[in-house]
């Protein structure tokens, strides 16, 4: 039996990057698509617990869900897919997910949800205006290698494509993405204040060996991510200071 790959994204079920990704990896496995019914960018790891989710069959093996990317992967793995997936692949997102973007990205969150459940996962994102077809070719080649070799448990890959890339890729660490912090206060027609938050990207920092450095050089970035966020260097040894009124346990 061929492996099954579950696809999702945060740009919505009709996004061109999802269609191209599905076409690219279809020769490798049976494809099952479960994606948000509309764009759900920057929802991070939000999951819907207090209202029902409504699935809709778009076509054979393609479903939309009235929820977040994490909802789609959760429902896809546990309900909609006919058998456990060998891999979850998210994207191809229209826009980078570099450095600190991974904490906000719905694209990355879909892959994280799979990794939390022990399923190998990859998130793919590309520069706006990039070539989806070129990105799809690389995605298929990388998916084939991961199907063959696997990934460590609770690890995933975060892949970013520059706008104009050649055939080179680089294993990278997460760098730093700098945005202009901004809260724009406005007034509606009834005189009530409302806000637009979030400013534009100011810089992709050239941290050595980082995803940002690779993208600036026109090189495809492949960043392995581990889900353990523990600051292990702060535990061996732990901080020497104590908390007033309390004693550290031995």
Residues 214, 226 contacting (CB under 8 angstroms) = no
Residues 20, 136 contacting (CB under 8 angstroms) = yes
Enter the pTM of the model: 0.92
Per-residue pLDDT reduced to its tens digit, 189-216 = 998 998 887 766 656 656 889 999 999 9
Q: Which domains does the chain have, with CATH numbers?
A: 4-178+205-228 (3.40.1210.10)
Lowest mean pLDDT among 66-75, 98-107, 200-209: 200-209
For residue 6, pLDDT over 90 is answered with: yes
For residue 34, give both structure tokens: 């479960």
Per-residue pLDDT reduced to its tens digit, 142-199 = 999 999 999 999 999 999 999 987 789 999 999 987 666 778 888 889 989 988 877 6
Coil, strand or helix at 199: coil
Nearest to 34 by CA among 62, 66, 70, 71: 62
Percent pLDDT > 90 in the chain is: 79
Per-residue pLDDT reduced to its tens digit, 15-40 = 999 999 999 999 999 999 999 999 99
For residue 245, give both structure tokens: 């009124």
Percent pLDDT > 70 in the chain is: 95
- pLDDT score of 201: 66
Q: Which residues, 6 or more positions from 33, have their beta carbon under 8 angstroms from its beta carbon? A: 6, 7, 8, 13, 18, 22, 58, 61, 62, 63
How far apart CA 203 and CA 101 sit, in angstroms, is 12
Name 41's bridge partners. Answer: none
How far apart CA 166 and CA 153 sit, in angstroms, is 31
For residue 2, give both structure tokens: 């061929």
């Amino acid at each position: 039996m061929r492996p099954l790959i579950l696809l999702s994204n945060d740009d919505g079920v009709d996004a061109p990057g999802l269609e191209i990704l599905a076409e690219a990896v279809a020769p490798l496995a049976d494809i099952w698509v479960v994606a948000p019914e509309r764009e759900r960018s920057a929802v991070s790891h939000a999951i819907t617990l207090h209202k029902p989710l409504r699935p809709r069959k778009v076509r054979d093996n393609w479903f939309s869900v009235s929820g977040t990317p994490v909802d789609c992967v959760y429902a896809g793995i546990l309900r909609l897919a006919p058998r456990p997936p060998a891999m979850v692949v998210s994207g191809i997102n229209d826009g980078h997910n570099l450095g600190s973007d991974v904490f906000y990205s719905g694209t990355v969150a879909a892959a994280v949800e799979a990794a939390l459940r022990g399923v190998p996962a990859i998130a793919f994102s590309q520069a706006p205006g990039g070539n989806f077809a070129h990105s799809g070719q690389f995605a298929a080649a990388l998916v084939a290698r991961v199907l063959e070799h696997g990934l460590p448990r609770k690890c995933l890959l975060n892949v970013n494509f520059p706008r104009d890339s050649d055939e080179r890729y680089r294993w990278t660490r997460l760098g730093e993405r700098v945005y202009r912090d901004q809260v724009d206060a406005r007034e509606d027609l009834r005189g009530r204040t409302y806000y637009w938050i979030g400013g534009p990207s100011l810089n992709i920092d050239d941290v050595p060996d980082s995803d940002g450095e690779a993208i600036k050089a026109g090189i495809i970035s492949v960043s392995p991510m581990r889900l353990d966020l523990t600051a292990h260097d702060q535990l061996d040894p732990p901080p020497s200071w104590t908390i007033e009124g309390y004693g550290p346990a031995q």
